[in-house]
Amino acid sequence: MSFNKVDSNVDLSLFDINSRRKSAKKFGFNEESNTRNIKVNHAMKIVNQQWKLLGLRPSTIDSYNYNFSKFVEVTNVVYLHEINNDKIYEYLSSFKDVRDTTLKGRLKQISAVLARFYDNGWFSVGFLEKH
């Protein structure tokens, strides 16, 4: 009998909140602002740990990471609050001469990452509902 094994190599320090200042620095919050500005790279580290705990296949996680890193590269977003519909359209329009199915696949993967951000409370409303 075969069982799916969950990779338990998780960096628990990402979830450790000892003090406001330490946690703000660790999670990439911009203290000059009244709102929490979470850096995309820190958010992705946390989401990757969550995916590992949920038992997603490494190839699925790699695919999400690859496509989302391309999204970040094309749109130059640094903080989560910078992500909006215009950025998504900018990313999708950067693909030249590709089929609609390819664009739908890219959008589906970006949406999966954004849904995880929403589940973590980093977006107050479901992203695709809000924008």
Find the DSSP H helices in the chain. 20-27, 40-54, 58-75, 85-93, 100-119, 127-130
Per-residue pLDDT, 15: 56
pLDDT of residue 125: 65
Distance (Å, whole) CA 23 – CA 31: 11
Joined tokens for residue 64: 């999400």
Please write the tens of the pLDDT for every residue from 1-26: 445 555 556 665 665 544 444 544 55
With a cut of 70, say whether residue 108 has pLDDT above it: yes
User: Alpha-carbon distance 52 to 73, whole Å?
Assistant: 24
Q: pLDDT tens across 54-95, in order?
A: 999 999 999 999 999 999 999 999 999 999 989 999 999 999
Q: Is the domain covering 38-126 a CATH 1.10.150 domain? A: yes
In our burial notation (b when 16+ CB lie closer than 10 A, e otherwise), range 18-28 reads eeeeeeeeebb
Domain residues of the chain, as ranges? 38-126
CA angle 67, 69, 73 (to 5 degrees): 115
Q: What is the pLDDT of residue 37?
A: 82
Residue, of 28 and 37, whose pLDDT is higher? 37
Residue-level pLDDT at 30: 45
Greater confidence (125 vs 53) lies with: 53
Given CA atoms 109, 112, 117, 123 in this order, what sign does their dihedral have?
Answer: positive
- pLDDT score at 19: 41
Where is pLDDT greater, at 109 or 130? 109
